[in-house]
Amino acid sequence: MTLGRATGTLKALSCRKGILRFMTRMGQVLLSLLMVAAVGGGMVGWNTVGPAAPPGGSKAPGAPLVQVVSVARQPVQDLIEAVGTTRAQAAIDIRPLGSGRLVEVAFSPGAAVAAGAVLARLDDETERADLREAEATVVQATQALDRARRLRATQALAQVSLDDAQARAQAAQAGVERARKALAERVIRAPFAGVVGFRELDEGARVSAGDLLTTLDDLSVVEITFAVPERHYGLLRVDQRVEATTPAFPGRVFAGTVMHIDTRVGETSRAFRVRASLPNPERLLPAGLSVNVSVEVAAREALMVPEGAVIAEAGGGAVYVLDGDRVRRRSVRLGLRRAETVEIVEGLSAGDTVVAQGLQRLRDGSAVRLR
């Protein structure tokens, strides 16, 4: 009996220890839950007590924060913009008129030359000999004409013989002029002042009439030809100011004027050609350079909004207009574009307030907070 009681006592003690351990663990769990609840309640309380929404916008803490602008009329300048290509005021290929050996090349590529400057020479021994022969023929024909005149004065020569002598003298003089011209063509000169291009032939080369020797461009003034849609035909006039820019000279604007307006509109392109001239005293613009051309045609007032306020969509665009503490999506028709603004042709009125920044989270009817 004593052994049984001892065993029962031990079992009871073990059970009590297990209960105590269980209760201790449960207490720790409950304490952790209470701490988490306390921290969560504090966070919720901090978020709820945060800064109030600015006046004029929704006080809902989850509403998107946006920046708005008021739509107003602004003076704008209508522009006609196009892409054109430069050409020299005068440009030709330098080609010899005769055949022979090239004995001198008197220019350097890219050099500026004056009108009449010698560019190259061909061998001219044959032409000089032809000129001497023609001059001798003239002397002979002139002497024969003088004798015929003396004989005719004494009636010793018929009139027809005198006429023949005069004709031979004239033919001989024409031969001299022809020989002189052939000799002059052995020297290749610049017909006008300009800049020569690359040398295509070297001294000693055998050339034929029409072979390309170099090019010559007068770049003191460059001309730009560009196409303009037919709807602008009545807006352009001669002497109108033109501005041209090119990636070749970033930030540089070249100013000129309209020279000619074509009298025909292309039946296929429905556009007409315009030619403008730009002074080029530094010869910065070469021939054949692509340039962006703009022509100012009229000044007017227009509704302008920041470019960031417009959402692109098919056939136009859309904006979010502030309506109380919410926004309404409104389709608009776009017009002129500037660097950071867009013209609204239809869909807005002066005084409307549109969202300029923070459009990403907006939907039609969204509540907003104003920045």
Task: Give yes or no: residues 180 and 199 share one domain.
Answer: no
Cα angle: 70, vertex 74, 75; to 5 degrees: 175
Per-residue pLDDT at 140: 93
In a 3-state reduction of DSSP, which class is residue 340? Answer: coil
Helix (H) or strand (E) holding 76: strand 72-94
Of 270, 297, 324, the position where a domain reaches its end is 297
Exposure class string for 208-236: b at 16+ Cβ within 10 A, else e: eeeeebbbbbbbbbbbbbbbbeeebeeeb
Is the residue at 47 inside a domain? no
Contacts of 328 (CB under 8 A, 6+ apart): 320, 321, 364, 365
pLDDT at 5 over 80: no
Task: Give yes or no: residues 202 and 221 share one domain.
Answer: no
Distance between terminal CA atoms of the chain?
88
Is the residue at 132 inside a domain? yes
pLDDT at 95 over 60: yes
Q: What is the mean pLDDT of the chain?
A: 83
Per-residue pLDDT at 25: 56
- The one-letter code for the residue type at 123 is D
Of 281, 297, 313, the position where a domain reaches its end is 297
Task: Give yes or no: residues 249 and 274 share one domain.
Answer: yes
Q: What is the pTM (predicted TM-score) of this model?
A: 0.58
- The mean pLDDT value for 26-35 works out to 48
Per-residue pLDDT at 59: 55
Is the residue at 267 inside a domain? yes
The domain that holds 153 is classified in CATH as 1.10.287.470
- The mean pLDDT value for 17-25 works out to 50
Alpha carbons 32 and 65: distance in angstroms, whole number:
38
Tens-digit pLDDT profile for residues 305-324? 998 889 888 778 899 999 88
Alpha carbons 3 and 11: distance in angstroms, whole number:
13
Task: Give yes or no: residues 330 and 365 share one domain.
Answer: yes
Is the residue at 88 inside a domain? no
Task: Give yes or no: residues 143 and 202 share one domain.
Answer: no
Structural domain total, the chain: 4
- The one-letter code for the residue type at 211 is D
Contacts of 333 (CB under 8 A, 6+ apart): 316, 317, 344, 345, 346, 347
Contacts of 235 (CB under 8 A, 6+ apart): 78, 80, 297, 298
Is the residue at 337 inside a domain? yes
Tens-digit pLDDT profile for residues 197-254? 999 999 999 999 999 999 999 999 999 999 999 988 888 999 999 999 999 999 899 9
pLDDT at 4 over 90: no
Is the residue at 1 inside a domain? no
Percent of the chain with pLDDT strictly greater than 70:
84
Tens-digit pLDDT profile for residues 145-178? 999 999 988 888 888 988 999 999 999 999 999 9
Is the residue at 163 inside a domain? yes
Q: Which of 275, 280, 279 is nearest to 258 (CA)?
A: 275
Average the pLDDT over each of 103-117, 247-261, 349-363 and give the range with the smallest value.
349-363
Task: Give yes or no: residues 160 and 146 share one domain.
Answer: yes
pLDDT at 87 over 60: yes
Task: Give yes or no: residues 247 and 198 share one domain.
Answer: no
Task: Give yes or no: residues 207 and 114 share one domain.
Answer: yes
In a 3-state reduction of DSSP, which class is residue 153? Answer: helix
Is the residue at 94 inside a domain? no
Tens-digit pLDDT profile for residues 110-126? 999 999 999 999 999 99
- The mean pLDDT value for 332-346 works out to 85
Domain of residue 334: give its range.
Answer: 66-75+301-370
The domain that holds 247 is classified in CATH as 2.40.30.170
Task: Give yes or no: residues 105 and 203 share one domain.
Answer: yes
The domain that holds 351 is classified in CATH as 2.40.420.20
Of 297, 319, 353, the position where a domain reaches its end is 297
